[in-house]
Amino acid sequence: MFSFKNLLSALSLVALVHALPAKPIQRRTGFGSMCSTTQFNLSNSVPADFNFTQPNTTFPTFVALSVGTQNYTCGDDGTWSPIGAITELYDISCIPQEEHANFTTMIADMWENSPNTWTSEDIVLSTEAANGPTALGMHYWISDPNNATSGKIFAKWDFGMSRMMEVTDMNTAFVVCSETDVVPDPINPVLNSAWLYEPVLYVDGQKDGQLADQVYRFNSNGGSAPNTTCRANFDFLQVKSTLNFWFYGGAWVNTTSSS
């Protein structure tokens, strides 16, 4: 059984892994990625036959590890229905892309085995002390910004709580997206969340946040509800989830492109 301390140590590795090879970590000014993201290529992580809408820029602005929980309630039909998630986001730009899938699985194994008393909120509080700059921010869901009564929820990524606490324009620190391309996880579609392409949501003709224009979700570990029946409108479930998000475009696209 891994302790939570081990999880923290593993997350500290995010910073350490790249300190060993020749290339030192470059602390970015302007709130961008910790290391250059120019070498990252989505085609090497997401199979071409997923037919995902391609990114509009050649490399991502941020690459993140997401650790947290997905919440479910029991729907009228007696099956689990997603009602959002809270996850903490960490900068993994200093880890080579070919290591990302295995690194994410390693963190997932530790998170799965950490005590039930630990919440994702505990992670961010602890890791910010332990890891400082690797904490990017939080991922959670909000109600439909375009229609308060639609009952829909939308994914939001908010770096204003960690990485971009001091930006002058907080609109550049978050983004809200919809989901347009959804493909079942290629390894275990029952246990692992689907892979997603998520373009920025427009509200009153404006982008809802300038953190990014396009977000991709992949390398999923956990997150899906079990395929079991439940008691309608009564049962509640939290499922641990560990995966990657890549962010393309947005206000910081040129902050990370140099070097």
Ligand X SMILES: *[C@@H]1O[C@H](CO)[C@@H](O)[C@H](O)[C@H]1NC(C)=O
Residue keyed to tokens 């037919």: 51
Nearer to ligand X, 25 or 194 (CB): 194
Nearest partner of 167 among 158, 155, 176, judged by Cα: 158
Q: Residues 87 to 106: which contact ligand X by CB under 6 A?
A: 98-99, 102
Alpha-carbon distances of 143 from 150, 199, 224, rounded to whole Å? 9, 17, 21
Nearer to ligand X, 65 or 253 (CB): 253
Interface with ligand X by CB under 6 A: which range of 14-22, 108-116, 141-149, 156-164? 141-149
Nearer to ligand X, 102 or 233 (CB): 102
DSSP bridge partners of 69 = 86, 240
- Using the rule CB under 6 A, is 173 a contact of ligand X? no
Nearer to ligand X, 51 or 259 (CB): 51
Q: How many residues bind ligand X (CB under 6 A)?
A: 31
How far apart are CB 101 and ligand X at their closest, in Å?
7
The two structure tokens encoding residue 19: 């300190």
Out of 86, 110, 123, 175, which residue is the one contacting ligand X (CB under 6 A)? 86
Concatenating the DSSP letter of every residue in 126-192 gives: HHHHHHGGGEEEEEEEEE-TT-TTS--EEEEEE-TTTTTTT-S-GGGGEEEE---EEE--SS-TTTB
Neighbours of 158 (CB within 10 A): 22
Out of 150, 168, 204, 231, which residue is the one contacting ligand X (CB under 6 A)? 150
What whole-number distance in Å separates Cα of residue 102 and Cα of residue 109? 11
How far apart are CB 232 and ligand X at their closest, in Å?
17
How far apart are CB 3 and ligand X at their closest, in Å?
22
- Using the rule CB under 6 A, is 58 a contact of ligand X? yes
The two structure tokens encoding residue 91: 């900068």
What whole-number distance in Å separates Cα of residue 84 and Cα of residue 70? 6
- Using the rule CB under 6 A, is 191 a contact of ligand X? no
- Using the rule CB under 6 A, is 169 a contact of ligand X? no
How far apart are CB 224 and ligand X at their closest, in Å?
9
- Using the rule CB under 6 A, is 190 a contact of ligand X? yes
How far apart are CB 75 and ligand X at their closest, in Å?
14
- Using the rule CB under 6 A, is 13 a contact of ligand X? no
Helix (H) or strand (E) holding 89: strand 80-91
- Using the rule CB under 6 A, is 84 a contact of ligand X? yes
Concatenating the DSSP letter of every residue in 61-79 gives: SEEEEEEEEEEEEE-TTSB
Nearer to ligand X, 15 or 201 (CB): 201
Nearest partner of 62 among 88, 46, 38, judged by Cα: 38
- Using the rule CB under 6 A, is 49 a contact of ligand X? yes
* Binding-site ranges for ligand X (CB under 6 A): 41, 43-44, 49-51, 56, 58, 71, 83-84, 86, 98-99, 102, 140-141, 147, 149-150, 183, 190, 199-200, 213-214, 227, 238, 251, 253-254
